[in-house]
Structure 1
Amino acid sequence: MAFLLQGDDVLHQVNPSPLPDPYWVAFSASAAKLIDIPLGQDKYPKDPKWLEVLAGNRLDHGSHQFDRPIATAYSGHQFGVWAGQLGDGRAILLGDIHGQELQLKGAGKTRYSRMGDGRAVLRSSIREFLCSEAMHGLDIPTSRALAVVGSNEPVHREEIETAAVCTRLAPSFLRIGHFEHYASLQKQGRLQELADYLIKHFYPECQSSTEPYLDLFKAISAKTARLVAQWQAVGFCHGVLNTDNISALGLTIDYGPFGFLDHFQIDHICNHSDTSGRYAYHRQPQIMHWNMACLASAMCPLLELKHPSEIAQTLLRTALEEFPKIYTNNWQSLFRTKLGLQTSQHEDITLIERLLQTMHDARVDFTFFFRALANYDSINLQPPKEARDLFNHLAVIDEWFKDYGHRLQSEKSVDEKRKILMKACNPKFILRNHLAQHAIEKAQAHDYSEVSKLLGILEHPFDEQEDNEAYANPPSIEHRAVEVSCSS
């Protein structure tokens, strides 16, 4: 964030608040490779000083001098309402290492903490850690989670919990809210600096364009459209798609009350604080399109440097219309692949929609069904028993299975080859809420073994992992009631 390191109007230089008596809760060896941290046999850093750095207790480590930690200001729309200035209320950016920004979440108060205490709790830190790495395992663009450091320091939420710091990595944590912030304050110079920085470092293809800012908007919008299509294809619900939670790089960031679908419900709400269902599963594409409209509005002054206002608005409005097209094309392609279809036919969309409606009506487990479907016998039009048994209206799903089999036969595909391809895109393992909750409860009793085990499983979600079969099963009825909220 080199452009942000000039001027008090865009950042707050602040040191992390020390975390008393820190200890390791979790560590990602995979994420550590991004910043070249040598690890010991226990898969934690060889140098114990890293524990103090990632707890926020020291600002230097060998050649790394984190002498200007910062929190940044941004603004945004929250649940569709303009919220004005927001900012990093408990996230402090230490600096850059090997092209990755190193950020501590839960490291204490900043200028933007408002009424908050600047801390994160163990519960939410473990959830963010596991889901960040799970999304990476699913090959979905995401910020990474390097570590969770715990402490016995009490933190008051609905009840007294303990503090933790989650270390996040990303090429940049710039978000749509940064554009909205500078636009709302009419700071055109800052807005231009932000856009130029993004073009130079992350969207170099826009540099030679005659319309660099318009093309930057198109690039961000296209990445976001592809991202939300990937979410829908694995049944991921973000929970709080406010504009200040949307990455300018098309990454999944700010894991709060997220959830993966268990039993499929098209209008599933993963955040029980979302009483209107604004961020329900089926509304995520629409909301992301709305967020891109907010970005277009914030970037309009950049196009007005070259064009009259009316023309600038028309150019952005036309570019914005591409979002649903890009999303739809990607969504259709992903679901064809999930069904093992290697060619495109017009009737495929009806086939997909019929299936999803039947799954919704029967509340079928999303991940389990698509994984099991790989075992369909297209020669004899025989559905796998474990997939068929998920449905209660067998006549309806049997008719679909028959039509699906005929569609597979039309491609003359080899079942074994199709099976391999389907299992390479339909995960066996996801971060189910009840699995995360079990790991959290053990961690709250100072047993972190389940966090490490879940991490290992989720790093390879497409593998069979016969020894971990229980982690692939749908939750029991009593475990379906696990709820999450914005409290963290």
Structure 2
Amino acid sequence: MNSPSDHSSIERHALDRTRAPVFRFDNSYARLPEHFYARVPPTPVAEPGLLRLNRPLAEQLGLDADALSTPAGAAILAGNRIPDGAEPIAMAYAGHQYAQFVPSLGDGRAILLGELIDRAGRRRDIHLKGAGRTAFSRMGDGRAALGPVLREYVLGEAMAALGIPTTRALAMVATGEEVYRERIEVGAVLVRVAAGHVRVGTFEYFARRNDTEAVKTLADYVIARHDPDCAEAEQPYQALLEQVVARQAELIAQWMLVGFIHGVMNTDNVAISGETIDYGPCAFMDAFHPQTVYSSIDHFGRYAWDQQPRIGYWNLTQFANSLLPLLGADEDEARQRARAALDRYGKAFERRYYGGLRAKIGLLDARAGDEDLALDLLGRMAAQQADFTNTFRTLGEVSADDPASDAPVRAQFADPSVFDQWAVPWRERLASQARPDSERQAAMRAVNPAYIPRNHRVQQAIDAANDGDLAPLDRLLEVVSRPFAEQPEHVEYRRPPRPDEVVERTFCGT
């Protein structure tokens, strides 16, 4: 489990109290011009206490997990102690929030402590979320509540286990303080690890100020950090735009293939690195419906499951607009290059999404009619309120030549005959491909998870954690870290919520 070390002796514990973790920082963003950020230290908390440490991630980062598990480590992870080499900064950015442009957002409750080079040679940000007020806090308190911190920890780990690009949590730390939202809540800090925190909104911040030099500096920085091959292209900034377009198209397709709804796809929540970032009012669907919304503030369904591809394109258009001064000698040339790059979005999305749907229903290659077959299944699932995850998982248990094996997937439909009708052409399609049934079933199990962090399970873990019980969190982390395994000892985690367990709304941490 991702839990603090158990120091078994008084002597060991006494020694560890003075054992400070070593961070080998190399802070490239802090070397950019000063107007890219505000230098600000984290605000100390009353009583830092390590709740959970992601030990495998610490190992990947080249950090000493045992040292991080000491009081000295907790003090660093909470922001009470600045380790050697850190240069704490709050990053400046703007953003379109529900299509309304806000010229100055920035890190209002998060601080970039510094950057590490991990064991694989990748540059990784170490980011404290809930670390106190900054120059961008406006009316916010700069703090985070335990519930949203726990949600982000769990969903980031689940997403990583699903193989979807994501930020992750190194640790969650109690603060010994209360925060005030709709009610008084337990305070916490999330230590977030990311490939980078530059967002579409970061580019918008400078572009809307007509600071072309800053846009160029930022673009050059991103190319050097994330896309060095673009520097050799004939049009480096168009090449960068094309890379970001491709990453976002594939990311959103991957979300949709597992029934994930981000919930707040504002441009300040779109990472240039292509990682899932800012888990707020997000959720995995239970019963499938394409217009599903969980966010408590998305009253008109702007960020519903089926709207995510369209919003992804809209967000990327704002990125392209920010880059226009770098794309051509005149406006017409720049816009032509921007459109050429954006035109790649639809094909990249469809290739990943429809290819993923074919794999989810067990098809080895692409043939005419496959997309219609997959979409017909989704339509029937929506009409029948079939569970998204369980329908695809149990479909993989079906034998191509034994209708009796259909029972588990038929049970997902209120009227099983609706599935039976679809299964006739599906079986005909399976018969047309030279592939052993066992191989097809194994391939389906490899792309259709059995376990997701269901909303009611996350909420149960949050409620228990607020009462000081982290055992439900540990069980949930154990389950979602192996989403494709059968895990018979945890089969109850496959169960959709009972009516009294349904979580209809999720909330932003602010």
- TM-score, scaled relative to structure 1: 0.96
Alpha-carbon distance, 1:2 to partner: 2.1
Offset, 1:14: 0.5
CA apart distance, 1:481: 3.5
- Per the TM alignment, residue 162 of structure 1 is displaced from its structure 2 partner at its CA by 1.4
Residue 449 (str. 1) matches residue 471 (str. 2): yes
Distance 1:170 1:481, change over 3 A: closer
Instruction: Specify the code of the residue in structure 1 equivalent to 2:114.
Output: G
Which deviates more, 477-486 or 89-98? 477-486
1:8 offset after TM fit, Å? 3.2
Secondary structure in 1 aligned to 2:232? Answer: coil
| Superposed displacement of residue 272, structure 1 | 2.0
Unaligned runs of 5+ in 1: none
In 2, the alpha carbon distance for the partners of 1:258 and 1:208 equals 38
Which of 260, 270, 276 pairs up with 2:294? 270
Instruction: Report the counterpart of residue 342 of structure 1 in structure 2.
Output: 364
Whether contact under 8 Å (1:174, 1:248) holds in the other structure is yes
* Letter paired with 1:361: A
Q: Which amino acid counterpart does residue 342 of structure 2 have in structure 1?
A: L
Assess if the C-alpha contact under 8 Å between 1:101 and 1:169 holds in 2: yes
For 1:90, give the aligned amino acid: R
Residue aligning to 2:90: 71
For the residue of structure 2 that corresponds to 1:85, the secondary structure is coil
- Cα distance, 1:3 vs structure 2: 4.6
For structure 1, which segment, 309-318 or 235-244, has the greater mean C-alpha deviation from structure 2 after superposition?
A: 309-318
Structure 2 counterparts to residues 113-262 of structure 1, below 5 A: 113-262=137-286
* 2:75 counterpart residue number: 52
Which residue matches 1:325?
347
For residue 95 of structure 1, what is the amino acid of its counterpart?
Answer: G
1:8 and 1:308 map into 2 onto residues whose CA distance is: 30
1:327-348 deviation per Cα after TM superposition (whole angstroms, max 9, x unaligned): 0111000111111111111111
Alignment correspondent of 2:457: 435
Shift of 1:406: 1.1
Q: Which residue is 1:301 aligned to?
A: 325
Instruction: Give 5+ residue unaligned stretches, structure 2.
Output: 1-26, 118-122
Q: Are the equivalent residues in 1 in contact too, given 2:112–2:125 (CA < 8 A)?
A: yes
Please point out which of 303, 326, 333 is paired with 1:279: 303
Identity %: 37
Paired residue type of 1:196: D
Cα distance in 1 between the residues matched to 2:111 and 2:434:
55
SS in 1 for 2:174: strand
TM-score by length of 2: 0.92
What is the distance in 2 between the residues matched to 1:164 and 1:431?
A: 21
What is the alpha-carbon distance in structure 2 between the residues aligned to residue 163 and residue 257 of structure 1? 18
CA distance in 1, matches of 2:29, 2:508: 31
Post-superposition offset of 1:47: 4.1
The aligned counterpart of 1:38 is 64
Say how many residue pairs are matched. 479
What do the CA deviations read for 1:236-278 (whole angstroms, capped 9, x no partner)? 0000000000000111000000000100011000102100110
* Preserved CA contact (<8 Å) 2:51 2:174: yes
Which range is displaced more, 159-168 or 383-392? 383-392
Cα-to-partner distance string for 1:288-336 (whole Å, 9 max, x where unaligned): 00001000100001113xx211111011112211111110111000111
Secondary structure of the corresponding residue to residue 35 of structure 2: coil
Q: Distance in 2 between matches of 1:156 and 1:409?
A: 59
- Equivalent residue for 2:100, pick from 65, 75, 81: 81
**Match 1:9 to one of 16, 35, 40:** 35
Q: Is the 8 A contact 2:116 2:125 kept in 1?
A: yes
Q: 1:46: Cα distance to partner?
A: 4.8
Q: 1:46 to 1:242 in 2, by over 3 A?
A: closer
Distance 2:131 2:301 in 1: 31
Provide the C-alpha distance between the structure 2 equivalents of 1:362 and 1:243, rounded to a whole number of angstroms.
34
SS across alignment from 1:65: coil
Preserved contact between residue 3 and residue 194 of structure 1 (Cα < 8 Å): no
CA distance in 2, matches of 1:300, 1:454: 46
Task: Return the alpha-carbon distance in structure 2 between the equivalents of residues 380 and 191 of structure 1.
Answer: 60
